[in-house]
């Protein structure tokens, strides 16, 4: 079975998702076990595939044994393998967490939730490991549709924001598909490796420029790159807490990965119109970082604040993409990893606080550090990482972005990164101040001093603590991560 690992990464969650309603009908506990097993198998396969890619070079897997460009292939290179590990790991962690929110629901609701969640996982994993641009579109739609379903199950306000998300997301997907159409018209191929070769003589053609812009706009909408972020804040705010950590942590990041894949691998950052397009992306991203950070300061709802901060953080990834050099690439990929972990962690914290107190407003966080010490500890790590304080992971990705900007003599970007870190510090400090320094009103205080129950059920607390630890571990192990994996992932295989 070992040679089938690349397929198993995606197939296993997909198979269990398809059977979820059936299994849920008989036993929801069995469903939960199967779901966790599927996510774990997918994670182990991804780790195995990444190891193979690092030691023996890229791994090509042909579906139906049809050689590309006629058939569909999966390609595990260090970059896609790393993304697959990230996605499957976060999927597993959040899946453990969701149980407490679902336990009260009927079998149908639980079955549908598990099915949609695993389909979302399979869709995102499929997008990361595929080597075919149309197959990417199919899995993009699987992940999008399941995300619409998950978001919409969060109540009436969520349906309105989900509808907006459907409209905007479909526009994004249509733009992407039209871009693929342009590429297909001028090359006749849909396979990424084949496209790379066949595009070489055509890179000065206007059609390639348009295709680039279409794909950029399409994926820009999906990853909420400023100014295409309009759908994101509402969608994140009104979603049910069982699903949103995974959606917020991973979905936009996978879309950013797709852009990296296109610009660094298929078009090539130095060819034809690419530097021009990337420069525009850079300026827009820089503007987005600042504006979204300012917007985040103005929010009173914790989740909404995190949503705007997501828009700013996606801007960092756009910035790394636009730099187009090795440090920019490393910074962007590193930030994808960091941001996925820390945003996921922060939304888990938000869900945990909601579970405990039923509140999302920042002003209700008073003295939370005494009520939920471990949760708030993880929050503190996440917040430090967002701001970029050294031992945490967030510092190092910003460091590489700054190095990349200096290498290109773009000092303005350095200023933007430092300024936005200060803005991040402002809005996270508001929450930290509430949680650690403010005293709660007396009436409420008596309530929680009496309360001898553990702060959260173990299934919720463990994921929060694990992700908090991950932020530290990734930060401390940044050097081996960069030199052993990220440098290998850079097109051309490092130095």
Partner 1 sequence: MRELFTEHLIYWLILFLFMLGPYGMIFKKNLVKKLMSMNIMQVAVILFFLALGQKTGGTIPINLPGLIGAEHYINPLPHTLMLTAIVVSLATLGVSLGLLLTVQKRYGTLEEDELLRRMNQ
Partner 2 sequence: MKFVRAGALLVVVVMTVVLFIGAGALPAIYNPQSPASTHVSDRYIEKSVEETGSLNFVTAVLADYRGYDTLGETTVIFTAGLAAVVLLRSAQKADSRGKKVPLAKAGKGMSERFGTIVLNTAARFVIPFVTLYGVYVLVGGGEGNPGGGFQSGAVLAIAIIISRLVYGEGAAFNISGDLALILAGIGTFIYAFVGVLTLLWGGNFLEYGIAPFLMSAAEKHSLGISGIEIGVTLCVMATIIAIFDALARKEEVS
- In the bound complex, what is the minimum distance in angstroms from residue 46's beta carbon to partner 1? 26
174 binds, among partner 2, partner 1, none (CB under 5 to 8 A by kind): partner 1
Q: Closest separation between CB of residue 128 and partner 1, Å?
A: 20
Nearest-approach distance from CB 116 to partner 1, in angstroms:
11
Specify the residue, 225 or 337, whose C-beta has the smaller distance to partner 2: 225
Dihedral class, residue 320 (left if φ above 0, else alpha if ψ from -120 to 50, else beta): alpha
Cα-flanking dihedrals φ and ψ of residue 158, to 5°? -65, -30
Nearest distance from residue 393's CB to partner 2, in Å? Answer: 33
Taking CA atoms, 354 is separated from 351, 358, 408, 444, in Å, by: 5, 4, 45, 16
Residues that bind partner 1 (CB under 8 A): 134, 137-138, 141, 145, 148-149, 152, 156-157, 159-160, 162-163, 166-167, 170-171, 173-174, 177-178, 181, 184-185
Q: Name residue 429's beta-bridge partners.
A: none
Residue 206 touches which of partner 1, partner 2, none (Cβ within 5-8 Å per kind): partner 2
Query: Which partner from the list partner 1, partner 2, none does 167 bind, CB cut-off 5 to 8 Å by kind?
Result: partner 1
What is the binding site for partner 2 (CB under 8 A)? 1, 4, 7, 11, 14-15, 17-22, 25, 61-66, 69-72, 108-109, 112-113, 115-116, 119, 122, 126, 134-135, 138-139, 141-142, 145-146, 148-149, 152-153, 155-156, 159, 182, 184-190, 198, 205-207, 209-210, 213
> Which of partner 2, partner 1, none lies near 163, with the C-beta cut-off 5 to 8 A by kind?
partner 1
The answer to whether the beta carbons of residues 215 and 181 sit under 8 Å apart is: no
Alpha carbons 54 and 64: distance in angstroms, whole number: 25
CB nearer partner 2, residue 181 or residue 454: 181
Shortest spacing between CB 483 and partner 2, in angstroms: 34
Contact at 8 Å (CB) between 401 and 286? no
* C-alpha closest to that of 137 among 186, 170, 90, 88: 170
Instruction: Say which entry of partner 1, partner 2, none residue 32 contacts (CB below 5 to 8 A, set by partner kind).
Output: none
The partner in contact with residue 71, picked from partner 2, partner 1, none with C-beta cut-offs of 5 to 8 angstroms by kind, is partner 2
Which one of partner 2, partner 1, none is in contact with 271 (Cβ closer than 5 to 8 A by kind)?
none
Which residue number, 116 or 168, has a Cβ lying nearer to partner 2?
116
| Per-residue burial over 357-395, b = 16 or more CB atoms within 10 Å of its CB, e = otherwise | beebebeebbbbbbbbebbbebbbbbbbbbbbeeebbbb
Smallest separation (angstroms) from partner 1 to the CB of 396: 39
- Identity of the residue, 186 or 287, whose beta carbon is nearer to partner 1 in the bound complex: 186
H helix runs in 324-410, sequence order: 326-357, 368-371, 373-387, 393-407
Closest approach of Cβ 269 to partner 1, in Å?
27
- What is the distance of C-alpha 45 from the center of its chain? 20
**Comparison of 207 and 276: residue with beta carbon closer to partner 2:** 207
Q: Closest Cα to residue 93, out of 117, 126, 60, 68? A: 117
234: nearest Cα among 175, 168, 287, 189:
168
Helices (H) and strands (E) in the chain, counts: 22, 2
Write down the least CB distance from residue 152 to partner 2, Å. Answer: 5
């Amino acid at each position: 079975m070992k040679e089938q690992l690349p397929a198993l990464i995606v197939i296993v969650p997909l198979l269990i998702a398809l059977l979820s309603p059936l299994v849920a009908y008989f036993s929801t506990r069995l469903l939960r076990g199967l779901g966790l097993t599927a996510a774990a198998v997918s994670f182990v396969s991804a780790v195995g595939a990444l190891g193979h890619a690092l030691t023996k070079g890229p791994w090509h897997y042909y579906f139906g044994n049809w050689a590309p460009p006629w058939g569909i292939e999966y390609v595990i290179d260090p970059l896609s393998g790393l993304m697959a590990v990230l996605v499957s790991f976060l999927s597993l962690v959040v899946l453990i967490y969701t149980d407490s929110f679902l336990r009260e629901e009927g079998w149908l609701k639980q079955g549908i939730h598990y099915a949609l969640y695993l389909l979302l996982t399979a869709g995102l994993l499929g997008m990361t490991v595929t080597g075919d641009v149309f197959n990417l579109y199919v899995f993009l739609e699987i992940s999008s549709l399941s995300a619409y379903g998950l978001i919409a199950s969060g109540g009436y306000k969520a349906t309105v924001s989900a509808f907006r998300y459907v409209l905007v997301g479909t526009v994004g997907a249509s733009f992407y598909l039209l871009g693929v159409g342009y590429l297909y018209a001028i090359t006749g191929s849909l396979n990424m490796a084949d496209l790379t070769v066949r595009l070489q003589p055509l890179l000065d053609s206007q059609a390639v420029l348009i295709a680039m812009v279409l794909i950029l706009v399409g994926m820009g909408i999906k990853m909420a790159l400023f100014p295409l972020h309009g759908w994101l804040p509402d969608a994140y705010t009104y979603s049910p807490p069982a699903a949103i950590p995974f959606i917020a942590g991973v979905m936009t990041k996978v879309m950013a990965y797709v852009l990296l894949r296109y610009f660094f691998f298929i078009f090539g950052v130095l060819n034809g119109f690419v530097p021009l397009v990337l420069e525009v992306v850079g300026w827009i991203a820089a503007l987005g970082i600042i504006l979204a950070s300012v917007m985040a300061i103005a929010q009173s709802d914790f989740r909404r604040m995190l949503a705007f901060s997501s828009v700013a953080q996606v801007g960092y990834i756009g910035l790394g993409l636009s730099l187009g050099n090795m440090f920019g690439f490393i910074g962007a990929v590193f930030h994808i990893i960091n941001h996925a972990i820390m945003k996921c962690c922060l939304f888990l914290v938000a869900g945990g606080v909601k579970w405990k107190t039923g509140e999302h407003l920042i002003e209700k966080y008073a003295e939370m550090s005494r009520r939920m010490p471990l949760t708030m500890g993880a929050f503190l790590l996440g917040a430090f990482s967002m701001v970029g304080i050294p031992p945490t992971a967030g510092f190092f990705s910003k460091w590489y972005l700054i190095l990349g900007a200096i290498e290109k003599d773009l000092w303005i970007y350095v200023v933007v990164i430092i300024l936005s870190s200060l803005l991040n510090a402002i809005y996270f400090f508001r929450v930290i101040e509430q949680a650690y320094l403010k005293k709660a009103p007396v009436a409420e205080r008596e309530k929680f001093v009496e309360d001898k129950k553990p702060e959260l059920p173990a299934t919720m607390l463990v994921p929060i603590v694990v992700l908090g630890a991950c932020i530290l571990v990734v930060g401390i192990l940044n050097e081996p991560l960069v030199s052993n994996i990220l440098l290998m992932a850079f097109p051309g295989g490092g130095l």
